[in-house]
Chain A
Amino acid sequence: MADISANFLGIKSPNPFWLASAPPTDKKVNVLRAFEAGWGGVVWKTLGSQVKNVSSRYSSVNYNGSRVMGFNNIELISDRPLDLNLKEIAECVRLFPDRAMVVSLMADNNRESWHELIKKVEDTGAHGLELNFGCPHGMTERGMGAAVGQDPEIAARVVEWVMEAATTPVITKLTPNVHSVVPTGRAAVNAGTHALSLINTIQSVTGVDLDTFVPNPNVGGQSTFGGYCGPAVKPIALKMLTTISQDPVTAKVPISGIGGISTWKDAAEFMLLGATTVQVCTAAMRYGFRIIDDLCDGLNNWMDEKGFKTIDDFIGRSVPTLTNWEELDINYHIIAEINQEKCIHCGLCYISCEDGSHQAINLSYGKPYNTYTVKDEECVGCNLCKIVCPVDNCITMVEHRKGDEYLNWKEFQRRGLPLNDH
């Protein structure tokens, strides 16, 4: 059995799975249930400024019969009394001392408010702080949340205030509602943050009700931009995570990865791209805390299979393989091959290639079953047919190099080799 425990800036947890700052972590009753279920840690729902929530808060994007491909919310930070939260945090820390307890914070925009809040939270015995610079709705209008995270200078100033008072590790959570997360990430690291976490939710409209004409979620005939999360945002989160893992300034600090993680596979991917721990919310909101079993079990089995003893053996392992386009090997060439034994004659490879790619699949008519074969000389190796094929391993991409040597775009251009030759 591999060791899946995590050590994040000295904050230890029996596994790298934390619950992200959100409704599942807003009170003792949920957090104790989560710890009983086996979660490694929680980031307590953001404490700070006083707020008032509205009714009708969530909406989702469904796709081809699957519910909650994406999810959005317009809920604000914790609307429970601060003292009650602090009391419950202390109780949870006492009852489960082996689990990570990080508290998310968003104080009013002045040094005193931050210092006061940090003091109170640290008195609970919590292990770390996460600065919410990412909430995309409700708080931004008051100069908080994403309004801080979108401006590196303001973010740096707030981090400086925090570092003056904090005695526990500080994680700065980044907003994705920027053209790049790196400037704010760098500013936070330069201002002294111990770690980064990303991504917060993405501003969104999940859809418009075609009967009422009001977008979702409907609050008495109106709506507002909500924060998007769930499986749909994972690819965007992975990209942003990679830019943080690759930047020489931000790469110095540990990262807690967030964004659509639902399974151990998602988690492993985040860790391969640099995350030390991962935070989960939407999947737990949808299915409950019981998903932790397979998260741990699946990760453990995969690590055993790959020969990884601890999570440090693979954290960041895939980061160097993501490079700039101009570094890619132009001589690498693959051609699709259709296994006729496995083919079920659905024609999806044919029509996708014919209409959407390079017309490289041949249709030989049959009744009722056509036969599909690849025109090797036309195939550009784009993967589309393999992607749309409903049968596992029916279409494989076989390597047929154009040349033995590694040849990238820069070198290709330097030699003046022919362009537009397909």
Chain B
Amino acid sequence: MAVHNNRLTAEEYEQHFSDIHPPFETRDAALVEANRCLFCYDAPCTKSCPTGIDVPKFIKQITTDNLKGSAYTIFSSNIMGGGCAKVCPVEKLCEGACVYNLMEEEAIPIARLQRYATERAIQEKWPLFERKPSIGKKVAVIGAGPGGLSCAHALSGEGIDVTIYEKESKGGGLMTYGIAAYKVTPQFCQDEVDYITSIGGIDIQYNKELGRDITLADLQQQYDAVYLAFGVGLARQLYIPGEQLDGVVDAISFIYEIRNSGFPAVPVGDQVAVIGMGMTAIDAATQAKRLGAKEVTLVYRRTQQEMPCTEAELNIALLDGCKIVWLAAPTEILGEDGKVTQLVCNLVKLEDAGGARRQPVITDEQIILPVDMIIKAAGQMPFEQLVYSHQLSNDHGKISTTCNGVTSIAGVFAGGDCVNGGKEVVDAVQAGKEGAKAILEYLQNERC
């Protein structure tokens, strides 16, 4: 029993990390579903999409073999429409609002159709967007994640020269570094970044980190405006004894390693406990299992009703053979020779407190899970120091903005996870669009 890497054959790795949502194999298959779409007016699916993609329109365009028009409809609302088709929790967004749900019928597979329309555009590099001539304005964007790329694309289209500073060696942000590999492959992430930047006017400077390689003051001097989209990054600590033991890792780093170093290089234990029940917890648990861990147990202090992940995500974990322990609060990590051996949890019981929701109360009753690896997925923390050091008005490290990403510093805008504390990719894309709009207005007024 030990934590080690290289547990599987090359074929097994490939099989375990192949695309979990295979695309439509043929045009006919896509058309069967596309033709089911009712073409709703003021459609609930569109209203449930943070970027407001005109879903009925792009599906109708699939049915008329106007795939270019369909891809344009998607990308003009959401330039990461390709990636979002793979990672969006659609059952609580567009597909969850599909009117077929109200008829007790299967919702239209919007994500899969969106993928059908966007995949060829990305693969075949369709030039759907034309950049206006340069107007001689320069904007710096911090972070080449969904928010930064979305903002950059919108600005560049209006003739602004954009430079993105990215601390990693690849673009895509959490899409590239923070999501299960069976949802988006590294190659796809690279292709998507290339497709977005193919509009021109966007220069990505990799391995350049704000506060280390560049300063906000310099950027303010060199550029007409700055957009901050550096996301969140630090894993939330549990603050329980034993957290420093060998074999205790955080989910963000674990997933980062998988995406950055390749599957065989990443060590996992035989018996792994994952703490948390969000999307990241699921991504960590399923990938630990797929890397060859014998037993993976998700530990969550509340019940299925409160879990932050979607039902579809939970089902992936269950189908992968992960176990779930509900109503258990980790209280101590025990180890031998500096290595983790046990996770101690106190059971939680729900007590009626007169309200609609029962209150969780930690009891004295304990369970002990024998483990050789613990993955903490209890949420992410904002980059507090970075925010504090720049005198940005903030809320516990989350940058405060007025509408459309205007920060407390003139000419500095922000959006995405570094403002909202961590939401979906699609939310960051929308924030980037809104930020770009605010920057354009700002530059317009400045010129007058």
Is B249 engaged at the interface, CB distance under 8 Å to the other chain? no
Chain B residue with Cβ nearest A64: B35
Q: Cβ of B44 and Cβ of A348 under 8 Å apart?
A: no
Is A369 engaged at the interface, CB distance under 8 Å to the other chain? yes
Q: A65-B63, A367-B47 are in contact. Are A347 and B42 (CB under 8 A)?
A: yes
Over the window 12-49 of chain B, the binary record of Cβ atoms lying under 8 Å from chain A Cβ atoms (1 yes, 0 no) is 00000000000000000001101100111111110110
Q: Using Cβ atoms and an 8 Å threshold, which residues of chain A touch B32?
A: 65
Is B97 engaged at the interface, CB distance under 8 Å to the other chain? yes
Is B180 engaged at the interface, CB distance under 8 Å to the other chain? no
Q: Cβ of A345 and Cβ of B35 under 8 Å apart?
A: no
Listed in ascending order, the chain A residues whose CB lies under 8 Å from chain B are 64-65, 344-348, 350-351, 363, 367-370, 390-391
- Highest count of chain B CB atoms <10 Å: which of A345, A350, A391: A345
Q: How far is the CA of A249 from the CA of B374 in the complex (A)?
A: 93
Q: How far is the CA of A369 from the CA of B101 in the complex (A)?
A: 12
Q: Cβ of A368 and Cβ of B38 under 8 Å apart?
A: no
Q: Using Cβ atoms and an 8 Å threshold, which residues of chain B touch A391?
A: 103
Is B99 engaged at the interface, CB distance under 8 Å to the other chain? yes
A-B contact list, 15 entries, CB within 8 Å:
A64-B35, A64-B63, A65-B32, A65-B34, A346-B38, A346-B41, A347-B40, A347-B43, A348-B38, A348-B39, A348-B40, A348-B41, A368-B45, A369-B97, A391-B103
Q: Using Cβ atoms and an 8 Å threshold, which residues of chain B touch A367?
A: 47
Is B1 engaged at the interface, CB distance under 8 Å to the other chain? no
Q: Known contacts A65-B63, A350-B41; can you find 9 more A-B pairs with CB under 8 A? A: A65-B32, A344-B103, A346-B43, A346-B99, A368-B44, A368-B47, A368-B48, A369-B97, A390-B38
Q: Cβ of A65 and Cβ of B103 under 8 Å apart?
A: no
Q: Cβ of A344 and Cβ of B102 under 8 Å apart?
A: yes
Q: Which of A64, A363, A369, A390 contacts B44 (CB 8 A)?
A: A369
Q: Using Cβ atoms and an 8 Å threshold, which residues of chain B touch A363?
A: 42
Chain B contacts with A in 44-68, Cβ cutoff 8 A: 44-45, 47-48, 63
Q: Cβ of A345 and Cβ of B39 under 8 Å apart?
A: no
Q: Which of A64, A65, A345, A351 contacts B99 (CB 8 A)?
A: A345
Q: Using Cβ atoms and an 8 Å threshold, which residues of chain A touch B41?
A: 346-348, 350-351
Chain A residue with Cβ nearest B32: A65
Q: Using Cβ atoms and an 8 Å threshold, which residues of chain B touch A370?
A: 42
Q: How far is the CA of A64 from the CA of B65 in the complex (A)?
A: 11
Q: Using Cβ atoms and an 8 Å threshold, which residues of chain A touch B99?
A: 344-346
Chain B residue with Cβ nearest A367: B47
Q: A346-B99, A367-B47, A391-B103 are in contact. Are A65 and B42 (CB under 8 A)?
A: no
Q: Using Cβ atoms and an 8 Å threshold, which residues of chain B touch A350?
A: 41-42
- Highest count of chain A CB atoms <10 Å: which of B31, B41, B44, B99: B41
Q: Using Cβ atoms and an 8 Å threshold, which residues of chain B touch A65?
A: 31-32, 34-35, 63
